[in-house]
Amino acid sequence: MNREMAEIVRDRKPLMMRPTETMQSACGQMHHNRVGYVLVTAETGTVLGIFTGRDAVRALADGKDAGATPLHDVMTKQPATLPPTAKAIDALRLMQDGGFRHVPVVLEEFVLGVASEDDFRDPERDRLDEETGVWQHMR
C-alpha cells in the first residue's frame, strides 16, 4: 500500500515530444500510444511542460489550429513532478489538490515515467478517501 513512484512507473517509457511539435502531432501520438498526455521536453530531456487531452480541448475551444499550433503555446508549463521515492498517496494528494490526472516522476532532471490516475490501487485510493473525509469533518 505504500508503493513508491519508482515502482508505479517502472518499465514504462513516457511519451515525450519537443515544444515545437504541433498539437495535431501530439494528439496523434497520444491516440496511437493510448495515453492521455505528452511530456514536452527540451533536447536535454528536461521537462518543460505537459500536454493533455484537457489542454487539447481548451485549445480547440479557443479556436487554435491543431496543425499549426506548437505545443509550447498550449502546454501546461512547469507541471508538478514527484521524485521516485515519493509514495503513491503523495501522488494522489497532489493530483487531487491540483485537479489533474498525470504526474511526471523525475529524478533530478531525468524523466522516469508518468503516473496516471488509473495506476493506483484501490487501497491507495481508499486511503485518500479516508484522509479527505477526516479533513472534511475537522472543518
Q: Which of 55-59, 105-109, 123-127, 133-137 has the highest mean pLDDT?
A: 55-59
Give the chain's mean pLDDT: 90
Torsion of CA 16, 22, 27, 33, to 10 degrees: -30
| HSE-CB of 76 using CA atoms within 13 angstroms | 22
Which residues share a beta bridge with 70? Answer: 22
Asked if the model's pLDDT at residue 137 lies above 80, the reply is no
Asked if the model's pLDDT at residue 34 lies above 70, the reply is yes
DSSP characters over 39-79: EEE-TT--EEEEEEHHHHHHHHHTT--TTT-BHHHHSEES-
Residue ranges of domains in the chain, CATH in brackets: 5-138 (3.10.580.10)
Distances (CA, A) of 123 to 12, 74, 120, 127, 128: 22, 35, 8, 6, 9
C-alpha cell at 21: 511539435
56-115 pLDDT per residue, tens: 999 999 999 999 999 999 999 999 999 999 999 999 989 989 999 999 999 998 899 999
Distances (CA, A) of 113 to 41, 80, 104, 132: 13, 13, 6, 27
